[in-house]
Amino acid sequence: MVFVWYFKHYSDTTWTASFKTFKNEDKARDYIISETRKNTDMEKILGSALLKKKTRQRGINDFCFDDDKYLVHRRYFLHNIPTEFSKVLKDSGINISIFKLK
């Protein structure tokens, strides 16, 4: 079983963290990419990298999974919530509430 964590801005001082489970990692990764496209600024941030076929998949993988320079822009996490992400929220005075997605 694979966990996907999702953060949502609930108020100025509270974000919710929810999770969803998948039978395999490929389905979880597909879900993260799909939802990231809908619910983040990935397309604005990556810009022209998404237009070029040669760099599109690498850019998406970097944004969603691989490159920590995008960590603060991510809202979906595979397996667990990175300590660095939680620390950034807490240091900003943001509380985290955890729920399970249905």
Specify the pLDDT at position 20.
92
Domain tally, the chain:
1
Query: What pTM did the predictor assign?
Result: 0.83
How many other C-beta atoms can be found within 10 angstroms of the C-beta atom of residue 71?
13
Out of 30-34, 43-47, 57-61, 97-101, least confident range: 97-101
pLDDT in tens, 47-84: 877 778 888 899 999 999 999 899 888 999 999 888 88
Residue 49's domain comprises 2-100
Instruction: Please report which confidence band the pLDDT of residue 99 belongs to, taking 50, 70 and 90 as the band edges.
Output: low
Of 3, 62, 54, the residue nearest 36 (C-alpha): 62
Instruction: Please report which confidence band the pLDDT of residue 18 belongs to, taking 50, 70 and 90 as the band edges.
Output: confident
- pLDDT score of 21 more than 80: yes
